[in-house]
Amino acid sequence: MSAEQEADELDREVWGGDPVHVALSKVMRDVQAVGKTGRNETQNYSFRGIDAVLNAVGPALREHGIVMLPRVIASKYATFNTSGGAFMHEAILEMEYTFIGPGGDRLVCTAMGESADSGDKATAKAQSVALRTALIAALCIPTDEPDPDTSSYVRTAPPPPPMEKPAKHAKQDIIRAIQRDHPEMDKDKVESIAIDVWEWGAVTAEVVFPAELDSMLAHIPTAVAAAGEES
């Protein structure tokens, strides 16, 4: 008997069976690969479904006396509409999986799962994704996926927030303010300045009418001075 075999035998005597890391290594030996037997016809791609992974991994886990227990660590839910107008529920879960070996010792791993569904299956789908991810990662099952380094993405600045549309009566408020402070100014010049001030606020989105009208009126002295220089 080799030194390695003697060590394994000692572990089995101590734990009452293989330690969980040894049992998992034997599962890894038994499960070499899982093919992509699923097919998404809508988006035209093949995938490795949870049933295919469990059908390959489950017998090996049972053979080597490993029990796997799941636990939800964190969850996040949201709703959204698809481009076709369908209302969807989204679930994002952080799952913890505990592998318990024949002797009762444990190894723990975590995995994320994200999914969406138009009914009540978003959580179940997200759990399936997380379980599949955990098993593939823990057992080093080849995926034949493109390497992440084969593609890169350049982030762009987020689009500016939509501009607030000024209230219809805001321009009239500006006209009245100019007429009050500058009664000598003719009507056409007053309206011209009021339009300039009103449009400045609409373009820069610095002022929301009429809640902050006082801030907009602060532009009036500059506009009036500029108009005086032109005349």
How many Å apart are CA 23 and CA 62, to the nearest integer? 10
Full-model pTM = 0.58
| Burial of 167 from C-beta contacts in 10 A (0-12 / 13-18 / 19+) | middle
Predicted confidence (pLDDT) at residue 212 exceeds the cutoff of 60:
no
Residue 41 dihedral angles phi and psi, to the nearest 5° = -75, -30
How many CB atoms lie under 10 A from the CB of residue 142? 9
How many Å apart are CA 29 and CA 27, to the nearest integer? 5
Residue spans of the domains in the chain: they are 3-143, 170-230
How many CB atoms lie under 10 A from the CB of residue 90? 15
Predicted confidence (pLDDT) at residue 71 exceeds the cutoff of 60:
yes
CB 114 within 8 A of CB 90: yes
In tens, the pLDDT along 3-59 reads 766 666 666 666 567 899 999 999 999 998 776 665 555 555 555 688 889 989 999
In tens, the pLDDT along 159-205 reads 776 655 555 556 777 778 778 877 888 888 878 777 776 666 544 33
Question: Cβ neighbours of residue 216 under 8 Å, at least 6 residues apart?
Answer: 170, 174, 197, 198, 201, 207, 209
Range with the largest mean pLDDT of 27-36, 100-109, 151-160: 100-109
Q: Span 92-116, mean pLDDT?
A: 95
Residue 209 carries which DSSP code?
T
Tell me the three state secondary structure of residue 30. helix
List C-alpha distances in Å: 107 to 50, 145, 165, 194.
21, 27, 58, 72
Q: Span 194-223, mean pLDDT?
A: 52
CATH number of 3-143: 3.30.390
